[in-house]
Amino acid sequence: MGISGIDSLTYGVADVAASRRFFEDWGLTLLDGAPDSAPVLQLADGGTICLRAASDAALPALPPGYGQAPPSTMREVIWGVHHASDLQAIEAELGRDRLVTRDADGTLHTRDDLGYAIGFRVTRRKALTHEAVRDNGPGRIGRIDARAEAALPYRVRQQRMVHLVYWVPRQSQQMLQFYVERLGFHVTESVKNVGHFLRCGASGDHHNLFLQTRGDNFGFQHVAFELRNIDDVMFCGQHMEQQGWKSHLGPGRHVLGSNVYWYFWCPAGGIVEAGCDLDFITDHWPAKELEVVPAGGSSWFVRAEDAGLRPGHGDWPQFKA
Ligand SMILES: [Fe+2]
């Protein structure tokens, strides 16, 4: 199907101004021209976060699994594809058993098998290029007669959105089949009673979608943003805490995906993850099935209170069916 990654997310939120401030602090750039009531923020690759009041009738309706409507949450993801022919293939495939509409700009809108609003468009994101970090180590000199870039603080710029996580009810094998069989996602690895890590058919990211199971939890859980390196992650988290935003978990490094992480509670709904150094996966990687997450999920973490915790821990009452 040629799906390459996340192009855009639309949130319906209780407090548009606070949500906008959060994403600006997080390292996105406010786009000119959008109204204050519906701001659009952009990442370095051109991906976008669109914010609207939760009361906006133009927002996609919440999926039926929410027992209680959350005041703020992510309402629709737009996946990017490489070619117009990919869009036609998706439209034909999903049009067999559900309503698929097409915007004037060509974007498709529909629902997945749990009713989450999803869309597709020819990607507007650009490929990113960055030079390797010039660092020094034993027997390896990458930087001579110069300070490191990270020797002085700087504001980070979020580079791209890399994955989404939904809470998926335990019995919902149907969601896995939908993304794999209908949309061409690949399973990278699955963990018994925990969930499935999937990557888009045209992506080498360890995961672009994680379908996570915990009891009856239902709904959007988090979106992960990719930064250039670990210094970016540290500067991002440090700045967020200085601005008064609340850390959820981190900093640390995941076992599955290998990526460095730092999560924050987000006023637009759910949590957000800043990270870097995610595993790059090819077709030579066999889908793995694990009984448990090794090492409790993190190879290292900084805060003692994070021991044994996973992303999404804590009370999510609004998301229970
Ligand atoms: Fe994540």
Q: Does residue 171 lie in a domain region?
A: yes
Q: Does residue 92 lie in a domain region?
A: yes
What average pLDDT does the structure give for the chain? Answer: 95
Distance 163 CA to ligand 1 centre (A): 6
Instruction: Tell me the mean pLDDT in the region 120-127.
Output: 97
Distance 224 CA to ligand 1 centre (A): 5
Distance CA 52, CA 50 (A): 7
Q: What is the tens place of the pLDDT at every residue in 33-74? A: 999 999 999 999 999 999 999 999 999 999 988 888 899 999
- Tokens matching residue 49: 């976060």
Distance 165 CA to ligand 1 centre (A): 7
Q: Does residue 129 lie in a domain region?
A: no
Q: Does residue 130 lie in a domain region?
A: no
pLDDT of amino acid 319: 58
Q: Does residue 134 lie in a domain region?
A: no
Instruction: Tell me the mean pLDDT in the region 250-266.
Output: 97
Q: Does residue 140 lie in a domain region?
A: no
Q: Residue 280 belongs to what domain range?
A: 3-123+158-319
Q: Does residue 148 lie in a domain region?
A: no
Distance 35 CA to ligand 1 centre (A): 30
pLDDT of amino acid 83: 96
Distance 1 CA to ligand 1 centre (A): 24
Who's near 81: CB < 8 A, 6+ residues apart? 1, 2, 3, 4, 87, 90, 120, 121, 122, 123, 202
Q: Does the structure show a pLDDT above 90 at 278?
A: yes
| CATH number (domain holding residue 179) | 3.10.180.10
Place 281 in a pLDDT band, splitting at 50, 70 and 90. Answer: very high
**CA nearest neighbour of 257 among 203, 301, 311, 297:** 297
Q: Does residue 86 lie in a domain region?
A: yes
Distance 229 CA to ligand 1 centre (A): 16
In terms of residues, how long is the chain?
A: 321
Number of domains forming the structure of the chain: 1
